[in-house]
Amino acid sequence: MEKDTNPERVIINFTKMCALDCEWCYVPFDNKEISIEKLISVIDRVSVLGFRSVTFGGGDPFQFKDLAPAIIKAKELGLFVHVDTHAITLAKSKENSHLLDNFIDLIGLPLDGSTDKIHDLMRGRIGHYDLIIDKLLWLRDHKVSIKLNTIVTSVNEFDLANLEKLVRKIHPERWSIYQFWPIGPAVKAQSNYTLEHCRFLESIRRLDYNILDGTVVEINASESRRRTYPILNHLGEVYFHHEYPHNEFQYVGSIFEKEISSKMDELCILERDQAVSRYSTTNKYEETNNLP
Ligand code: SF4
């Protein structure tokens, strides 16, 4: 049955594990095995339920060796395909180039500081900043649109104006700025990273958007992300960001349940205005298949 209400996008997180160990990470890892058959059945179901866009997210999709068939399937089904990656396992291979050029619409990479010191501190990994800059240069030779993701916390907030200058040089299609949200496992990091809402807004106000020259900037305060989209794990278990004041994920059910669509519609409020244009339809797959 075709959905005629929001939500129109889902996130599918690879919750088995992650190669990084960001102290403030909010992904509830479960160590559950990933199989391509199961993942494809989840993607099929997402499409049957009428969703138009899928974000493959952390852990890290590129850590899963069978990612390519899943992405190709999603594109074949007409979904807008967005992949978020920490880029460590994003090999500069011919296979990945083919995937990026033909089947992925938007790729998101983290950038949490204007210098290696600040970014690496945020990500808990020396050398990660250099790796991100290197992978961004490589990605620039592909047809995929690039999104930079910045988590703003009390640790890196002072650097935001310098980071903006770096973003101008990189010139991605989008820059998503997220206020740190101590939700789920991230609660344990709140004393070190929490940035009050008014300070987050002040930092955002200080930015000079004119210098960004065409890069779309998305400001994502933590409260604005509640109940806007379903979050699935790779097994198809559906969660939402719980309603205020609980900083928890709310389990809704399995994507394969008969009544799941109405449950999700009931929980979901409208997508944030800021994020709507992120998932404008592209027809990469059709373009690929129409080539002579
Ligand atoms: S890269 Fe993403 S998923 Fe991995 S630990 Fe960091 S925040 Fe969590």
Domains of the chain: 9-289 (3.20.20.70)
At residue 283 the predicted structure's pLDDT band, cuts being 50, 70 and 90, is very low
Reading the block at residue 236, the tokens are: 């198809």
Q: What is the pLDDT of residue 92?
A: 98
- pLDDT value of position 292: 25
For residue 26, which atom of ligand 1 is closest to its CA?
8
Instruction: For the chain, give the percent of residues with pLDDT over 90.
Output: 70
Containing 120, the helix (H) or strand (E) segment is helix 116-123
Asked if 195 and 180 count as a contact pair (C-beta separation under 8 A), the reply is yes
CA of 62 to the centre of ligand 1 (A): 13
What does the pLDDT look like over 83-133, one tens digit per residue?
Answer: 999 999 999 999 999 999 999 999 999 999 999 999 999 999 999 999 999
Query: Residue 229 — pLDDT band, cuts 50, 70, 90?
Result: confident
- Closest CA relative to residue 65, chosen from 39, 101, 102, 100: 39
Peptide bond into 292 cis (omega under 30): no
Counts of helices then strands in the chain (DSSP H, E)? 11, 10
- 243 confidence band (pLDDT: 50, 70, 90): low
User: Please, which residues have CB within 8 angstroms of residue 201's CB and are 6 or more apart in sequence?
Assistant: 221
Q: What confidence tier does 285 reach under pLDDT thresholds 50, 70, 90? A: very low
Cα torsion 149, 103, 53, 216: sign: positive
Q: Ligand 1 in contact with 113 (CB < 6 A)?
A: no
Between the CA of 2 and the centroid of ligand 1 the distance, in Å, is 33
pLDDT (tens digit per residue) in 151-191: 999 999 999 999 999 999 999 999 999 999 888 888 899 99
Instruction: Give the pLDDT score at 221.
Output: 85
Q: Using the atom order of ligand 1, give the atom closest to the CA of residue 58.
A: 3
Q: What was the pLDDT predicted at 289?
A: 32
Is the pLDDT assigned to residue 201 strictly greater than 60? yes
Q: Check if 18 has its Cβ closer than 6 Å to any atom of ligand 1.
A: yes
Which pair of structure tokens corresponds to residue 62?
A: 């590129």
Q: Is the pLDDT of residue 287 over 80?
A: no
C-alpha radius of gyration, the chain, whole number: 18
Residue-level pLDDT at 62: 95
16 touches ligand 1 (CB under 6 Å): no
Measured in Å, residue 23 CA sits from the centre of ligand 1 at 9
In this prediction, residue 278 carries a pLDDT of: 62
| Whether the CB of 257 sits within 6 Å of ligand 1 | no
Share of the chain above pLDDT 70, in %: 87
**Which amino acid is it at 168?**
R
7 lines ligand 1 (CB under 6 A): no
Any atom of ligand 1 within 6 Å of the Cβ of 124: no
pLDDT at 136 over 90: yes
| Highest mean pLDDT of the ranges 156-165, 175-184, 200-209, 228-237 | 156-165
Q: Exposed, middle or buried, 211 (CB in 10 Å: 0-12/13-18/19+)? A: exposed
Find out whether the beta carbon of 25 lies less than 6 Å from any atom of ligand 1. Answer: yes
Give the pLDDT score at 265.
84
Q: Report how far residue 67's alpha carbon sits from residue 104's, in angstroms, rounded to the nearest whole number.
A: 12
pLDDT band, residue 269 (cuts 50/70/90): low
* Total number of residues shown for the chain: 292
Q: How many CB atoms lie within 10 A of CB 50?
A: 14
Residues 49-91: pLDDT tens digits? 999 999 999 889 999 999 999 999 999 999 999 999 999 999 9
